[in-house]
Amino acid sequence: MATITTRERSNGTKSYRAEIKLKRKGKVVYQESRTFDRKALAKDWASRRELELQEPDALNKVMHRGVTIGELIERYQKEFGASFGRSKTMDMARLREYDLAKLDAIEVTSQDFVAHVVSRLKTVKPQTASNDLIWLRGVFKTARSGWGIPVALEPLNDAAETCRRERLIAKPSSRDRRPTLAELEKLLEYAKSTETRRAIPHQEIILFALFSARRQEEITRIRWADLDERNKVVIVPDMKHPSHKTGNNRRVYLTDEAWAIIQRQPKTDECIFPYNSRSLSARFTEWCKFLGIEDLHFHDLRHECVSWLFERGWDIPRVAGVSGHTTWGSLQRYTHLSRQEHHDKYEGWAYRPSM
């Protein structure tokens, strides 16, 4: 029940303070008050407010009122950020800088989300804008089920549907970029020329990525102890997976070329390539820009390896055994065959440490 308290002001007039207290198991879990000039207004407000707080989830909403989207993202990063990939980590940090992050996570509307997407489209593609909604949905779902915060998940879903219907967002386009022989030779030659000034053997790493289909993070995590010399197999710790972020350790086969590259690496660390994965990717990008090689990513070497193996006549299970893909649908996205390419185009490359 609400209580009405009468107070006399310094000028002789009266005010009426209506106070609501809600208890659970004998403890006050929520209280709210307002002051009015008339007692009837105070009673009317108290009666209406008590009815509102009896609505499903109403109390939970008022208890968490004021929690911003940015605060939820920050908590999400602290509790789960250790399992994020590089792109997700960067995207989460960026999301906290937008005006949307300042809005109340419970009161935010679908119009707010659509406005954010429209604003983003001034500088990014629909595929990138779509990622913002994907990451936010993950945060909101965790807030609801994990933290008990009744965030505005329905408005977010409504906004996503509207953006898809109006083509404001889109699925990421599949890359089909394959490096040419000339581009690879140029990269390897430049890597060779810099090795006397750098501790990282970039030439070897580029070749290993080309012949193993391993991502840069995976290359720097594989260990000598996980190498099966008899079967030419290595265990890749925490291989990237759409749902299993950690503990997805996979045994993959090494091509003869990848095996030859491993065999000539010095055993100075428990890892075969004990280097920083971000440095590998950053250096690769810098070199491509310097050498005039457009739109080539380190990850494209993985696509190239898969396509090359198929061009050599390997069947699906054998290629998947190297790449680590578990379904043909996911493997197919990495396959970009060319009738102009020869299956033996890289013959001898892996056995020449100094090209």
The model's pLDDT over 3-54, given as tens digits with 9 standing for 90+, comes to 888 998 888 899 999 988 877 777 877 788 889 999 999 889 888 887 777 7
**114: nearest Cα among 69, 70, 151, 159:** 159
- For residue 191, the tally of other CB atoms under 10 A from its CB is 22
For residue 167, give the DSSP letter. T
Report the number of distinct structural domains present in the chain.
3
Q: Are residues 129 and 204 in the same domain?
A: no
**30: nearest Cα among 52, 46, 5, 53:** 53
Q: Are residues 197 and 156 in the same domain?
A: no
Q: Which of 45, 62, 79 is the last residue of a domain?
A: 62
CATH code of the domain in which 145 resides: 1.10.150
* 41 strand-pairing partners: none
Q: Are residues 209 and 346 in the same domain?
A: yes
Structure tokens that stand for 273 in this block? 């390539």
| Assigned domain for 300 exists | yes
Q: Are residues 46 and 78 in the same domain?
A: no
Q: Which of 132-141, 245-254, 282-291 has the lowest mean pLDDT?
A: 245-254
Q: Are residues 7 and 101 in the same domain?
A: no
Q: Identify whether the C-beta of residue 324 lies closer than 8 Å to the C-beta of residue 239.
A: yes
* DSSP output for 194-221: HGGG-SS-HHHHHHHHHHH---HHHHTT
| Assigned domain for 45 exists | yes
Q: Are residues 21 and 126 in the same domain?
A: no
Q: Are residues 278 and 187 in the same domain?
A: yes
Residue-level pLDDT at 352? 64
Distance CA(92)–CA(77), nearest Å, equals 8
Confidence of residue 279 (pLDDT cuts 50, 70, 90): confident
Residue-level pLDDT at 55? 73
Displacement of CA 129 from its chain's centroid (Å) = 13
The upper half-sphere exposure of residue 126, i.e. CA atoms within 13 Å in the direction of its Cβ, equals 11
Q: Are residues 136 and 217 in the same domain?
A: no
Confidence of residue 322 (pLDDT cuts 50, 70, 90): very high
The upper half-sphere exposure of residue 34, i.e. CA atoms within 13 Å in the direction of its Cβ, equals 15
Q: Are residues 323 and 338 in the same domain?
A: yes
Distance CA(173)–CA(336), nearest Å, equals 14
Higher per-residue confidence, 331 vs 133: 133
Residue-level pLDDT at 175? 77
Higher per-residue confidence, 240 vs 294: 294
Q: Which domain holds residue 215?
A: 181-351
The model's pLDDT over 150-188, given as tens digits with 9 standing for 90+, comes to 899 999 999 999 999 999 999 877 778 899 999 999 999
| Assigned domain for 271 exists | yes
Mean pLDDT rounded to a whole number for the chain: 88
Residue-level pLDDT at 100? 97
| Assigned domain for 175 exists | no
Distance CA(173)–CA(1), nearest Å, equals 59
Q: Are residues 86 and 57 in the same domain?
A: no
Q: Are residues 303 and 341 in the same domain?
A: yes
